Amino acid sequence: MNAAVQLATGSKPLIEVENLKVHFPIRHGLLRRQVGAVRAVDDVSFNVYEGETLGLVGESGCGKSTTGLAVLNLLEATTGEVRFRGQTVTRSSEQQMRPLRRHMMMVFQDPYSSLNPRMTVGTIIGEPLSVHQMGGPAERAERVQELLRLVGLNPAFINRYPHEFSGGQRQRIGIARALATSPAFIVADEPISALDVSIQAQVVNLMSDLKAQLGLTYLMISHDLSMVRYISDRVAVMYLGKIVEVGSRDSVFDRPLHPYTRALMSAVPVPNPKLERERKRIILEGDVPSPSNPPAGCRFHPRCAFAEEVCRHEEPALRVLEGSNSAEHRVACHLAEKLAE
3-class secondary-structure state, position 108? coil
Nearest-angstrom CA–CA distance, 84 and 17: 9
| Strand blocks (E) in 193-285 | 217-222, 234-239, 242-248
Burial of 199 (0-12, 13-18, 19+ CB in 10 A): middle
Burial of 138 (0-12, 13-18, 19+ CB in 10 A): exposed
What pTM did the predictor assign? Answer: 0.91
Residue extent(s) of CATH 3.40.50.300 domains in the chain: 13-103+183-340
Rg (CA), the chain: 21
Say if residues 304 and 221 touch (Cβ distance below 8 Å). Answer: no
Nearest-angstrom CA–CA distance, 322 and 336: 9
3-class secondary-structure state, position 93? coil
Burial of 299 (0-12, 13-18, 19+ CB in 10 A): buried
Question: Could you list the pLDDT tens digit for every one of the 341 residues in the chain?
Answer: 344 444 444 578 999 999 999 999 999 988 889 888 999 999 999 999 999 999 999 988 899 999 999 999 999 999 999 999 999 999 888 888 888 999 999 999 888 889 999 999 999 999 999 999 998 999 999 999 999 999 999 999 999 999 999 999 999 999 999 999 999 999 999 998 878 888 999 999 999 999 999 999 999 999 889 899 999 999 999 999 999 999 999 999 989 999 999 999 887 777 767 766 667 777 788 788 899 999 999 999 999 989 999 999 999 999 998 766 667 899 999 999 888 77
pLDDT of residue 282: 78
Nearest-angstrom CA–CA distance, 83 and 128: 22
CA trace torsion 302, 308, 310, 316 (10° rounding): -60
3-class secondary-structure state, position 143? helix
Nearest-angstrom CA–CA distance, 234 and 248: 4
pLDDT of residue 272: 67
Strand order in the sheet with 33-49: 33-49, 13-28, 79-84, 87-88
CA quadruple 84, 87, 92, 93: dihedral sign: negative
pLDDT of residue 24: 95
The number of residues in the chain equals: 341
End-to-end alpha carbon distance in the chain: 30
Q: What stretch of H or E contains 208? A: helix 197-214
Q: What stretch of H or E contains 17? A: strand 13-28
Distances (CA, A) of 147 to 101, 122, 154, 177: 19, 10, 10, 8
∠ CA 96-97-100, rounded to 5° = 120
- The CATH number of 13-103+183-340 is 3.40.50.300
106 Cβ contact partners less than 8 Å away, ≥ 6 residues apart:
68, 72, 74, 178, 186, 187, 188, 189
pLDDT of residue 94: 85
